[in-house]
Amino acid sequence: MSQSEIKGTLIPIGGNEDKGKNESEKHTLEFIHEGILYHVKEQAGGKDAHIVVIPTASSIPDEVGENYLSAFRALGCKNVTVLDIRNREQSEEKRSIDLIKEANCIMFSGGDQSKITNKIGGTTIHKIMLDRYQNEVGFVIAGTSAGAMAMTKEMIAGGSATDAFSKGAVTMYKGLGFVPELIIDTHFIQRGRFGRVSEAVAKFPNLLGFGLAEDTGMIIKNGKCLVIGSGMVIVFDGSKITHNNEKVLDDGTPMTIANLTVHVLSNGDRYYITERRVGVLPIEADFI
């Protein structure tokens, strides 16, 4: 199914999104009316939306779950549930299935994206999420950090940022496949992950690489990606690469990629997946 045919909404987030307790001056958006979780709430239907938080990726799921309960409550949300899945068997339980069927929004936390795919990928709740995302208007799947990276089919599972221009430095794994056209990396600016996405796109040049800065996300709907939050999204388009030696190199060898197209997008800018086209927010327009 093409992105233009999908009826639901996907919101990948670059990690460290404002949860209403941020005292840093670098995040300048007002939490209640402009922050990323505000957009998640609004896309899901507003204050009455049923939001299910899944902290499976986290090593401290209880604490993470409480943080999201507090953040969404600060936004006026009255119906927020934490679904703490710690093994595959729990993904097949009736309570889990019922919650995924009833939710307006699924919110995946950060942590280790492989935990999400190992404990949820291919299970009944994963299949329900995918079916609802493809066929239901207003159904939202959001995810931050690991939760965003797991949305793709070809998923970055690990790899050193400093070594990632060398063949084999990036580890790939199968993700949940909500948006198979993309490869997503997070904490992108803060952790210097340009090389990770470059190698990932060299491995899969037919896919688009999205590098999301912290407190930055994209609302993906009908094949259109709208940038939200206070940072940048870096888009890597390998469709016009003229030289790519990834397939012939030994592991550990520095790579060469020529004519890799890179776009830098920020709040209010758009990217159209099928057309591989940028739509820039007009200078006179307000931020989102």
Residue 229 to residue 5: CA distance in whole angstroms: 26
pLDDT band at 27 (very low <50, low <70, confident <90, very high): very low
The model's pLDDT over 175-213, given as tens digits with 9 standing for 90+, comes to 999 999 999 999 999 998 999 999 999 999 999 999 999
Q: How far is CA 192 from the centre of its chain?
A: 17
The pTM of this model reads: 0.94
- Alpha-carbon distance 90 to 251, whole Å? 38
pLDDT averaged over every residue in the chain:
93
**Which tokens sit at 263?**
């776009």
Rounded Cα distance, 150 and 228, in Å: 19
pLDDT at 28: 45
Q: Average pLDDT of 229-254?
A: 95
pLDDT of 30 over the 70 cut: no
**Residues designated catalytic:** 145, 187, 214
pLDDT of residue 31: 66
Mind listing the pLDDT tens digit for each residue in 60-95?
999 999 999 999 999 999 999 999 999 999 999 999
